[in-house]
Amino acid sequence: MQTPNWTKDAFFYHIYPLGLLDAPADNQFHLPPESRLKNLYPWLDHLQWLGVNALYLGPLFQSGRHGYDTSDYFLVDRRLGSNQDMKELADEIHRRGMRLILDGVFNHTGRSFWAFRDIQVNGQASAYTGWYEGLRFDEHNSSGDPFTYQNWAGHDSLPKLNLTNPDVRNHLLAAVQFWMDEWEIDGLRLDAADCIDINFWQDLRRFTERLNPEFWLMGEIIHGDYSQWANPQTLHATTNYEGYKGLWSSLNDANYFEIAYALNRQFGKHGIYKDLNLYNFADNHDVNRAASQLLNPAHLFPLYSLLFTMPGIPSIYYGSEWGIKGKRTEQNDLELRPAINLHQYIQAAPEPQLPQTIRDLANLRRDLPAIRYGDYRQESVSAQQLVFWRSYAGQNVLVAINSSAQPVDIKGIKVPQHQQAHTVWPHPHPLQTNNGTLDVSIPACGLMVFSFEA
C-alpha cells in the first residue's frame, strides 16, 4: 500500500496539551490567549534525546472544555496560545527535523461552535440547520434547547456534524488546508474515524494528496477490520487497538499466545494487515496508563521491548516513559491527562531506568532496517516467551522476549547459515552458531536480539 515514506521510520510521542500544560478545565472565550505552548520548547530537547522524530499534538483548537468539543477549527485554543504561538512552535519542531501531527475532530463539534450557536439563536430560520445530523424541532434536548440532534456516544455536548452537506465538507477541508499552509503539518490523527462515512475520508485523502503526497492520515479505530478504513483509497493507517490490548493482557495473564495470535493474524505470512503500517501504542489519553494496567512493574520492560520490535509505528504517551500511573474513572479521564513538570520527572521518576531503556530501544529500531520495514515470522511461543523473526533486504533479525521472573533457555533455533551473525541486544558482539542452530538464554523479564546478514 502506498504510504508516506517517512512514517516507516517514525517514532511518535503523543502529547495531550490541555492536560500537560495545566490549562483551566473551562474556556473563558472572552479572555485573551495565554501562551502556554511556549512551555513545550524544553520538551523538544527531551523528545529528541528519547529518539522521537514525530510529535502527535492534540487536540489543539478552540473548544469549550476538553478539546474534542470544537468551537472554531481556525483558531488555536486560547488556553494554549495564539495561532502565531503555534506557528513559531511548528517552525521549531520542523527545524529539528521532526514531523508534526494534529487531531482532526470532524465527527462532531461542541455546543459552542458558531454554527450550533446560530441555530440556538435563530432556530429553524438559521442558515445552518443542515450542518447537524438528525436536527429536529419537535422536542427539547437535555440542555433545554427546543430541538434535538444526533450526537457522539450519547453526549449532547458533542452534536454530530452532517458530513453529507457540501458546506460542512468544504468548511472542514478549508480548515485542513489552513493548517497545512499555516503550520505545514505532516498529517492528522482522525478522531472517531469509525463514526464517519467512508466517502468523507476518501475525499480527504484525495484533497490532502493533491496538496502534499507525503501527508499522513491515521484514523482512530477501536473495533472492526482496519483495512475497511486504511486502504489505497481512504486512510493510510489506523490505531492498533488489537495490538494494544495484547501488549498488556498477555503479560498480566502470562499468556503470550494472545499477542502471538494477534501478530500472526495481522502481520504474518498471510496477515490481513501485512501491507499496513499501523499505529502501535501502550497507552493514550483514553485508556489506563501502562504502569497502572500492568500487574507487575517489571513487565514494563518486555512490554516496551515488544512495542519497538513488532511491525508498525511505535508511540509513547507523554509521561509514560517515566512509568507514571493513571486510571480512568466513571467521572472523567483527568488522571490520564495530568500536568507534568519536566524537570521534576527527569530528576526523580517512578521508573528512573525506563527513559534510557526506551531511548535504547528506539536506537535499536533505528539501526536495524528489518525491524522498521521487515516481514514478521513467529519462531516459537510459550506462556511467557515469544521469539520471532523480522526480515528485510537480506537482514534477518531474531527477537526473543521473556516475561518470566526467571531466565529461560531456548535451544536449537534454526538460523541462516553462511551469514555474519551478531548479538545486538543487550551488548553487541559477534555470535557463534552451532551448525545452523542457536541456543538462546533470555534474562528474566528480558530481551535478546540477534542479527544475521550476508
- Write the pLDDT tens digit of every residue in 281-325: 999 999 999 999 999 999 999 999 999 999 999 999 999 999 999
One domain, residues 322 and 416: no
Same domain assignment for residues 407 and 295? no
Residue 408, burial from CB neighbour count under 10 angstroms (0-12, 13-18, 19+): middle
Instruction: Spell out the alpha helix ranges (H) of 194-255.
Output: 198-211, 241-252
| 110 and 209 assigned to the same domain | yes
Residue 204 scores a pLDDT above 90: yes
Last residue of a domain, one of 308, 342, 370: 370
335, 419: one domain = no
Predicted pLDDT of residue 1: 64
The reply to whether 269 and 379 lie within a common domain is no
Considering the domain architecture, whether residues 295 and 413 belong to the same structural domain is answered as no
Whether residue 83 has pLDDT greater than 90? yes
**Residue 406, class by beta-carbon neighbours within 10 Å (0-12 exposed, 13-18 middle, 19+ buried)?**
exposed
Task: Report pLDDT for 432.
Answer: 86
Chosen domain end from 324, 339, 370: 370
pLDDT band with cut points at 50, 70 and 90 for residue 418: confident
Work out the burial of residue 102: count CB atoms within 10 Å of its CB; fewer than 13 is exposed, 13-18 middle, 19 or more buried. Answer: buried
Q: What percent of the chain has pLDDT over 70?
A: 100
**Domain count within the chain:** 2
Residue 137: which of 124, 127, 126 has the closest Cα?
124
pLDDT value of residue 161: 98
CATH no. for residue 340? 3.20.20.80
pLDDT in tens, 377-412: 999 999 999 999 999 999 999 999 999 999 999 999
pTM attached to this predicted model? 0.97
Which band of pLDDT confidence, cut at 50, 70 and 90, is reported for residue 435? Answer: confident
CATH classification at residue 388: 2.60.40.1180
Q: Domain range spanning residue 393?
A: 375-453
Kindly state whether residues 137 and 161 are assigned to the same domain: yes
* Burial grade of 418 (CB within 10 A; 0-12, 13-18, 19 or more): exposed
* The pLDDT value given to residue 8: 96
Q: Examine the domain organization and report whether 234 and 138 are in the same domain.
A: yes
| Average pLDDT value over all residues in the chain | 97
Do residue 299 and residue 382 come from a single domain? no
- Residue 454 is predicted with a pLDDT of 85
